[in-house]
Amino acid sequence: MSVSLSKLEKRTAYTLVLPAVLLVFAIVLFPIFANVWISFKDIELKDIRIPEPRAKKIVKSISENESELKVIYKLRNSSLIQEIRNVQFQDKFPKNISPIDLDQRCNFKSKKIICDFGNWEAKYRENFEVIIKNTNDEKIDKKIIKSRKPILSGTANNPLLTTNFTLKNFKKVFYENNFVELLLTTFYFTFFGTVGAIIFGILAAQLVNQNIQGRTYMRGILLFPYVGPVVALAYTWTLLLDPNSGTLNALLVNFNIIEKPINLLGQKYITMSILGFEFKLRLALTTVIFFEIWRYFPLAFLFILARLQAIPQSLYEAADVDGASPIQKFIHITLPQITAIISILFMIRFIWNFNKFEDIFLLTGGASGTRTLPINVYQQGFAVSDIGMGSAVSIVIVMLLLSFMIIYFRLIGKKANED
């Protein structure tokens, strides 16, 4: 009896969990599976639609009393890559109308021309002509003939559901798409954006963690970049940095810091000289990184501030007794206490920044050296309409992030074991 009850409970548990499992599969796993599937197909956006036979009808007079008409059907296959099988055609005519010298592929019965055109290969085109006449030698009404649309049917494979797979998309990703440059740009943006946001988050958390007047209001102000709509914030930055009417360039020119306005979001490189050494700075990309740091440092600030407030004050009091300086207290007390939260923040922000699309797209559209891998996914999938290529780039991004997470967790685990 107990065994039967145990099986019943297990079956009931599985039955209750099944809807949740199916929901997770539908929402999470199915899109991932579909993306992997498409990445191995040489297919563009225009090829997604299932091929269908199409016909355009043209009616011309061939007799003075219009008792005879020539009907021209411009037939075509809508697909450039797929064939259509078993194409059937039919067109209905009014009574007393019959065809003359009908094509051998067709027959006429019950006031209908019925044709079997067989298979249409990709890019198929044909002008199919039928001459009709009124058996009573009366005028045929053209409007009636034109108004009746021909009916075509056929069977074709859905390009997305076929098993024709290829590695062409991945070859194009690595060899024909400036992959190395895109990868370096993505890592440059991701690393400095992540590290910068964490550093500014630490500084902000240290500032508002002090017992100063108005720190509650300061905390609210520091959260504004993170809670503000990204579209509005990007638009504001674009106006402020505009080389012609932007506030920043106007101030820099008025105070003689620069001679002429700089297109911070539209100039790829700028040559700078420090201590006699000249080097090129990726201007537009660096500007986007500063926007990224400004927008997302509040997230690091919140996490780090919560951890700082949990550090026992007795540690700092003991350090004061020993005569430790503020820098020594930060290095030997604060930093070890927040290392764990910094490591988690770095991993989260690194993944988010590596996948970042909207900030770069709104500021520069991927121009001026700011084209990263996520921007390339959009450009390949929608601008160029090569969805197979876009899916392949997204799979490469996933594999890179998985590699990063494996290495990162191994390093974190090794560090934890050493400690």
Helix (H) or strand (E) holding 184, with range, is helix 179-208
Phi-psi category of residue 274: left, alpha or beta, with phi > 0 → left and psi -120 to 50 → alpha: beta
Side-by-side strand order, sheet with 112-120: 106-109, 112-120, 84-92, 151-155
pLDDT at 415: 63
**Helix, strand, coil percentages for the chain (3-state, nearest 5):** 55, 15, 30
Contacts of 284 (CB under 8 A, 6+ apart): 264, 265, 266, 267, 268, 364, 367, 368, 369, 370
CATH superfamily label, 177-385:
MetI-like (1.10.3720.10)
Please state which of the four CATH numbers 3.90.1150.10, 2.60.40.1170, 3.20.20.70, 1.20.1260.10 is assigned to the domain occupying 53-155: 2.60.40.1170
| Type of residue numbered 134 | N
- How far is residue 299's CA from residue 208's CA, in Å, rounded to a whole number? 14
pLDDT at 252: 87
Give the angle 294-298-303 at the CA atoms, nearest 5°: 145
Within the chain, which residue ranges are assigned CATH 2.60.40.1170?
53-155
pLDDT at 4: 75
pLDDT at 121: 92
Residue corresponding to tokens 């548990």? 13
- How far is residue 43's CA from residue 38's CA, in Å, rounded to a whole number? 8
165, 137 Cβ separation under 8 angstroms: no
Residue 289, classified by CB atoms within 10 Å of its CB into exposed (0-12), middle (13-18) or buried (19+), is buried
Q: How far from 390 is each of 374, 377, 402, CA to CA, in Å?
A: 9, 5, 19
Closest Cα partner for 45 from 161, 164, 174, 159?
159
**What phi, psi does 114 have (nearest 5°)?**
-120, 125
> Which segments of the chain have a pLDDT < 70?
1-3, 276, 413-419
Within the chain, which residue ranges are assigned CATH 1.10.3720.10?
177-385
pLDDT at 185: 94
401, 181 Cβ separation under 8 angstroms: no
401, 354 Cβ separation under 8 angstroms: yes
Beta bridge partners, 269, equal 282
133, 67 Cβ separation under 8 angstroms: yes
Closest Cα partner for 319 from 335, 305, 304?
335
pLDDT at 1: 47
Helix (H) or strand (E) holding 33, with range, is helix 30-39
**Which is it for strands 277-282 and 97-100: parallel, antiparallel or unpaired?**
unpaired
Residues in the chain, how many? Answer: 419
Contacts of 176 (CB under 8 A, 6+ apart): none
**Which is it for strands 277-282 and 106-109: parallel, antiparallel or unpaired?**
unpaired
- How far is residue 145's CA from residue 1's CA, in Å, rounded to a whole number? 78
pLDDT at 419: 57
